[in-house]
Structure 1
Amino acid sequence: MIYKKNANFPYPVLTNDSKSYAESNFILDVALEENSTFYRLNYTYELDSPFLKKLLIEQRAQLIFIIQSRDNKYFRVDYSESYVDIPKSRLSLSKRTSIQLQIQSKEEISYADNEDLNDFYLNFRNDLQVSKHALLAYSNVVFFEGSTVKPFELFEKKVNPALTSDIKIELGTETIVIHYRDPEYQFISFPQSNTLNNPYIYTGLSRALHQFIINNSDDQETVDLETCDIPSSPLDFKLHQLMTKKMVTELTLDTIDEVIHKISDRIIDKYVSAMKGLANHGN
């Protein structure tokens, strides 16, 4: 089964919200590819616990890739693998799909050598032992909205010479669209053209998050991402998934810039570095 909320266990389980481990990140990211016969789900994950990583490498624990759509399916994957191929005859993505990565014990496991636990459990870790097939950790849930045309694409770029402004940011049904009056405004002749577009990306994210609050908040000011309903809008759905994956729990009018910092992977730092590189090259 997929765990979408905190669950209680009689032993330490690593989750993104767990207090059992001193460092408890277990963050899953999934991207979709497909051809006429199968889906390929490419996945990456961050796992903070060296103890659990060691169990996986030694094959004393197993990664379980769980997909919940019309029905539930699970796949045992090796530590070194990075994708799962599923025949289309075995999986329907015509409706909302949930994906989670879990770690399960393959034998009885002692926690005596687990240095990753919090101070409370460290005091009696020598007495902690879990049975074979016990759940050791579970990641965030990645949601895939099967009805969207561009399920993992957040931005689009278009050129429109008829614009009455140089740049126009538009919130589409599924994406944030950046319109350019002149293709040169995309810095296409520069080696770091994508990074040089980051100010436009920042503006687009700011506008989309502000609209997200309007669409999903009762007071038009605050959205509690842990309790709000999953958005029906495809663009809001993607933003919700991105924020929860980055462990953002609340979005307000006053925290939009903080949230952009968390979800955009140093967007301003990278822009400044690119500008410095251009200046040094010019000198």
Structure 2
Amino acid sequence: MIYKKDANFPYPILTNTSNAYNNGKFLLTIGLDEIGNDYCFEPQYDMSSEFIKSQIQSENASLILIVQNKDTKFYEIDEKQQFIKIPRERISIKEKTSIQLLIKAKEDISFSNNEDLSDFYGNFKESILVPKNSILGFSNIITLNVIKKPQELFEKKIDPNLKGPFEIELSNETIILKFKNENYQFVDIPNNRDLNNAYIREGLGRAVINFVINNGEDNVVEINEIDPPEVELDFKLYNLMKSRNVKEVGLENIDEVVNIIGNNIIQKFTDAVRGLYNGN
């Protein structure tokens, strides 16, 4: 299984978000290539705990790569192993695929000499004994961008049965702009693409609000602190915000974020209107 950041354990766990370790860090990056009939995964990780590293080096603990989509596969890897080849017939990555690296105890492990733990555990770490086969840590989750329409954020539909001239609908994959008839899209006016930016801006705003609700705590999302979202539309927005260097989005800065990821969309709309006014 894939472990989320809020998973609870009865003993200290090394993650990127836990307070159990001083400056805890377990960052995974992954490369993917296709060689012949195999998928070739290249996992790389950065781990802060010298104690956990020593357990892996002494073979008291092992690294387990999890590859999850419809099925979940587990692969034990050597700490110096650079590639993992998996035959294509044994795994499918045609759908969104999540990857995580675990550290698993191969023996009972005492934490009495674990100097990386936070001060909270200082007085009783000698009594911490993690049983064999227990999880010692887990990395961030890598989600491969293999969704069906990775660049398609919007759809437009004509629905004569709409109660009003325009509606916004959010599907799992896209922002759907629905019009009662095509005239509302300025199809017979020059620069109609930029004029439609008013609708696009409203759709982006609705989607970003929904993103915050789905992924935030206290109506705020720290983009670099969350795992890639499972919902495809949220995943697209997540990637878009990361590419535009958005660090935080919340209900208080929705307009600012929409302007950034929309690439000054309202400015383009107003320029198109002024162009019509000036006869261009």
Distance in 1 (CA, whole Å) between partners of 2:256 and 2:54 is 38
**Residue 111 (structure 2) aligns with:** 111
**Residue 218 (structure 1) aligns with:** 209
Deviating more after overlay: 34-43 vs 221-230: 221-230
Aligned residues: 198
1:231 CA drift (Å): 4.2
Distance in 1 (CA, whole Å) between partners of 2:135 and 2:33 is 29
**Residue 239 (structure 2) aligns with:** 238
CA contact (8 A) 1:214 1:220 kept: no
**Residue 42 (structure 1) aligns with:** 42
**Residue 18 (structure 2) aligns with:** 18
Q: For 1:71-150, list aligned pairs within 5 A.
A: 71-147=71-147
Distance in 2 (CA, whole Å) between partners of 1:75 and 1:18 is 25
Distance in 2 (CA, whole Å) between partners of 1:255 and 1:51 is 44
Indicate the percent of aligned positions where both proteins have the same amino acid.
33
1:240 CA drift (Å): 6.4
TM-score scaled to structure 2, two decimals?
A: 0.60
**Residue 176 (structure 2) aligns with:** none
CA contact (8 A) 2:147 2:232 kept: no
- CA RMSD for the aligned pairs? 3.7
**Residue 51 (structure 1) aligns with:** 51
What SS does the aligned partner of 1:29 have? strand
> Cα gap change, 1:111/1:213 in structure 2, threshold over 3 Å: closer, same or farther?
farther
Q: For 1:166-177, list aligned pairs within 5 A.
A: none
**Unpaired runs of at least 5, structure 1:** 152-209, 257-283
Deviations for 1:139-189, whole angstroms, at most 9, x for unmatched residues?
0110013246999xxxxxxxxxxxxxxxxxxxxxxxxxxxxxxxxxxxxxx
Deviations for 1:198-224, whole angstroms, at most 9, x for unmatched residues?
xxxxxxxxxxxx999747422899862
> What letter matches 1:128 in structure 2?
I
1:84 CA drift (Å): 1.4
1:230 CA drift (Å): 3.6
Distance in 2 (CA, whole Å) between partners of 1:58 and 1:117 is 20
**Unpaired runs of at least 5, structure 2:** 152-200, 213-218, 258-280
Distance in 1 (CA, whole Å) between partners of 2:140 and 2:211 is 27
Distance in 2 (CA, whole Å) between partners of 1:219 and 1:147 is 20
The structure number with the bigger radius of gyration is: 2
> What letter matches 2:66 in structure 1?
I
> Cα gap change, 1:124/1:2 in structure 2, threshold over 3 Å: closer, same or farther?
same
What SS does the aligned partner of 2:233 have? coil
Distance in 1 (CA, whole Å) between partners of 2:21 and 2:142 is 22
> Cα gap change, 1:140/1:234 in structure 2, threshold over 3 Å: closer, same or farther?
closer
Distance in 1 (CA, whole Å) between partners of 2:140 and 2:110 is 25
Q: For 1:125-274, list aligned pairs within 5 A.
A: 125-147=125-147, 214=205, 216-218=207-209, 224=221, 225=223, 226=226, 230-232=231-233, 236-239=237-240, 250=249, 252=253
